[in-house]
Every structure is written in C-alpha cells, then in structure tokens.
Structure 1
C-alpha cells in the first residue's frame, strides 16, 4: 500500500483514539482514581503504560510539550493513583464514551467486530525498536470486547506512528518546540495562542524559536514558512508515512481499504455526536 495513502487512512481513524482525550467520561473515571482534573489526566493516562515514570521520559516521548509543563503533573500523579489503576480507568472511560457517542447497538455490530479484527491484524505489524510509547502500550493485555479491541489497536497504530514522527522531526533537525512552531505555520493545526497554552510554551520561547528558524531560512520573520520550510514539513510527513507503512503493508490494500470503509461511519457519527469541543480537530 502506498505510504501516503496509508498515512491518510491512519490519520482518518485516529479520531476514534483521540476522542478519549476530550471525553468527559474518561476524565470522570480518571478523576475517580484521585487524579486532578485537566492536564494531569492527560499526561498520566497516556504515559501510564510506561510505568511510574517521571517528567523527563514523558517529555522526551511526548516531544512537543514543554518539559516544565509535564513536570507540573508528573511524578505527582503517581502519588494519587498507580499506572495500572490509571490505565484501567482510561479504558473504562473510553468504553463509556464510545457507548455514549456511537450507541450500544452499533458497538455490538458485526461491522465493529470486523473492524476490530482488521485493526488488530494491522497493529501486529508494528515494531518496537525506537518506539517507546508504542512499545509500552503493546505490553498491555488485549481487551476482550470488540470495540475496545478496536480502540486498543488504533492506539497502538497511533503511538507507533507518533514515535516515528518524532524520529522524522529529529532527523530533520527540529526540536519539539520548532516542530510545533512549523506545524502551526502550515495552517493545518493549532493557532499559535492555543499551541502555546496547551503545550506549555511561553511567548518568549516561541518567539526565540521563530527567530532561530528564520535564521535557518525555514520561516520568515512574520512567522510564515518559506519555500524551504514548506519543503521541510513535506519531507517530515513523507518520512513519517514511510516509517509508519509496515502495519498497513502487512494488512494489505484490500484489508486496509475495508478498514477505512468500516471506520468512516464510526468517525462521522462520533464527530456528529460532539466528540470534540468546538475548535478542536482530531
């Protein structure tokens, strides 16, 4: 399967994974373990499969977040709830969110079971080398319910792709902050204020990154990508697609196409049901 087509498919299905970061059902389960509402639930739930780790490894793996922001919540979170408890709560919350957004009848359907089987087959083509977040999640036991098998498989595929994306960014000479700055400049992601606020970067650090990228010819002084900057971002995405292609090649074009067909109505229904806050895209 063409890596670019596989990349488009992967990104389209990521919605079903990403909604768990915004669903009140998930936050409620995580808060019930003792975690604080807000960002602590995000950092703890996503990193929990890595074990009782501190801010350093999480900032390294998450990459685009300010290390100082991560340090506000980890390792403090583990004083309230252990990683295994947090992971179990996350999956309970995701199950509740999927039931609320998609409906019990749909989740019990043959289509969801088929999608789960296909996604699991694709996920088995992932590799652990150099992919810490994927490897940690891959060590978790597979759920038994088909909709959670589908969620788990899509999570594995997303973290596998994300780990590869970090490698691609590093190989192109971008720091985490520079990766975020150039991504917002493409016009396909956050606004600058939202990116600064949610990823924990000060305006001063942001401006310094823009200045450095300007000196390198990647950006203009007013924050736009130069032609070289556009080419760099395209090269990053191409490298990401190539490093993430193995699971989809293993599934085969027919299987991948079928998974896309099965996943699309689930994504559309979740979006129509308000899976994301206004102004937020998966």
Structure 2
C-alpha cells in the first residue's frame, strides 16, 4: 500500500482513542481478580507484571528503563519477584482473560460482538503492520505475541501494539528533551492532561518531596512558573515533545491512510466513550490534583 501524507495530529487523536480503551485494563477489578489468583497483588506489582510479561522474566533494570517514569526502588521491590509468583506466560494468559472480561463488562455483549468491533480490529491491525521494531522494546516484545481470534481481543491486542509503539518513541522524545522520568510526569501533569500527583505517588513510587525537588529543577530551567504551571518555555517544550512523538509514530497511520485513520478514530472514540461512561477509571486520575 502506498503511504500518503497525513496530518500528524490525526495519528495522535487516533492513538489517544485506542489507548483510552487499552488502559482500562490496568484499573479493572477483573485484572485484580485474575492476578490475585496467581499470587500477584497490589497496583504496582500488577502493572509491572502485565506490561512487562511480554519481555519475559526480565529484571528490575529492564523494567525501569522501558517504563521510564517509575522510581527504580519501587520497581525493584516487585521485579523479579512477580516472576517467582507466576511465569510471564501465565501472566499473559491471565491478562487475556481479564481483557475479555473487562471489555464485556464495560462495553456490553452487543458491542463486543458487533460488526463495528470487527471493523475496528481490522483497521487497527492494518495500522500496526507498519510499526517498526528497532529501538522499541515494549512494542517489539508484544509484536511477538499471537493475534487473538476474537475481534474484541484482536482490537485490544492491536491497541496495545500501537500504544507501545508510540510509547517507545515518546520515551526517546522525552530523553532528547532532557526530561528525566519524574520531570516528565511533573510537566505532563502541569498540562492538565497527565496523572494527578496523588496517583503518581501511588503508582510510580515517587514522594511529594521528590516531586517538589523536580519541580524546583524545572523552575530553574524556566519550564515551570512559581505556581507550578507551565511557563511559556515549558508549553513549547511539551508541544515539541508531542510533535517529535508524532513524527516517530507516523508510519502506522500513514500506512492506514486518512480515511482509515478517520474511521478507526471514530470507532475508537465510541468504544472509549462507552468505557468512560461505565466508570472505567478513578474520577481523580487525570488533572492537576
């Protein structure tokens, strides 16, 4: 298929819609149930297990590197211990069962079995054909996994591929911009679209004191103002990071084409909206806190 020029923000909007539904799994009681049966409990341990399982029984260093904005001391408390509780293959099987239950609960049986779901899966998998492996460890590991037969699980799998492909590129953009993991979180939260500090402390392992020290570094660089809001330079830097992420992630959406991207975005927003309406996420997850 011949690639076509595409507004990079179209890819960004599509990726956001797909990622919203993908991310519901991490807050799902179905995942909590499945992993508890394997002896893996608590949000950090569950998160590390389900996202890193495709990499195999890796150590804490690999997880910290590929996740980027988690405190290494938190990671090392749970990795590689999670693999002692359950091998990665068992975690992946539990993840698939949880994804199935989560999508059925949030979207309903009619949506799961719909022609629209099958169409979304086809489109998302088509986009993922153009993802590249080089320098993208989380994407490449997930690309080794088989595509599920059921359309709703194939859609979730494709959303995972596209999410991790974009995420791997995003980490390269953050590093190029000179933001460490915590600084990336502080500046993203300052946009109003990132995780609230409360949830950063719970899920990423950083403390309020460490957050404030990072904010001080950012003020010294002219990226935050005295109120903790993004200064003009900070706004410009965050937008440059997103533009670079778009550039590194353009291939899947150019491959799919403008009409396909528009349709996949439409379908993705519909599924994501239904999941949000069903209470898929904590009410205080996103914002400045």
**TM beyond 0.5:** yes
> How far apart, in 2, do the equivalents of 1:86 and 1:132 lie?
18
Q: Which residue of 2 aligns with 1:108?
A: 113
- Could you list the runs of 5+ residues in structure 1 that have no partner in the other structure? none
Query: Which of the residues 171, 176, 191 maps onto 2:196?
Result: 191
Of residues 119, 127, 134, the one that matches 2:132 is 127
- The answer on whether the counterparts of 1:181 and 1:210 sit within 8 Å (CA) in structure 2 is yes
- Quick one: distance in 2 between partners of 1:189 and 1:264? 19
Give distance in 2, aligned partners of 1:161 and 1:188: 17
* Offset, 1:281: 4.9
1:56 and 2:61 equivalent? yes
1:96-130 Cα offsets, whole Å, 9 max, x none, are 11111112222112111111111000011100111
Corresponding residue number in structure 1 for 2:231: 226
The reply to whether residue 47 of structure 1 matches residue 76 of structure 2 is no
Q: Distance in 2 between matches of 1:214 and 1:100?
A: 44
| CA distance, structure 2, for counterparts of residue 48 and residue 277 of structure 1 | 25
How many corresponding residue pairs? 282
1:1-282 matches, within 5 Å, as: 1-281=6-286
Secondary structure, counterpart of 2:78 in structure 1: coil
Question: What are the Cα deviations for residues 155-187 of structure 1, in whole angstroms up to 9, with x where unaligned?
Answer: 000000011110000011111111111111122
- Is the contact made by 1:211 and 1:221 (CA closer than 8 Å) also made in structure 2? no
Give how far 1:207 is off: 2.1
Q: Contact 1:210 / 1:221 at 8 angstroms: preserved in 2? A: no
Q: Is the 8 A contact 2:223 2:234 kept in 1?
A: yes
Q: Distance in 1 between matches of 2:220 and 2:271?
A: 45
Rounded to whole Å, the distance in 2 between the matches of 1:278 and 1:226 is 27
> Structure 2 stretches of 5 or more lacking a match?
1-5
CA distance in 2, matches of 1:37, 1:199: 13
CA RMSD of aligned residues (A): 1.5
Provide the TM-score with structure 2 as the length reference.
0.93
Alignment partners' CA distance in 2, 1:68 and 1:141: 33
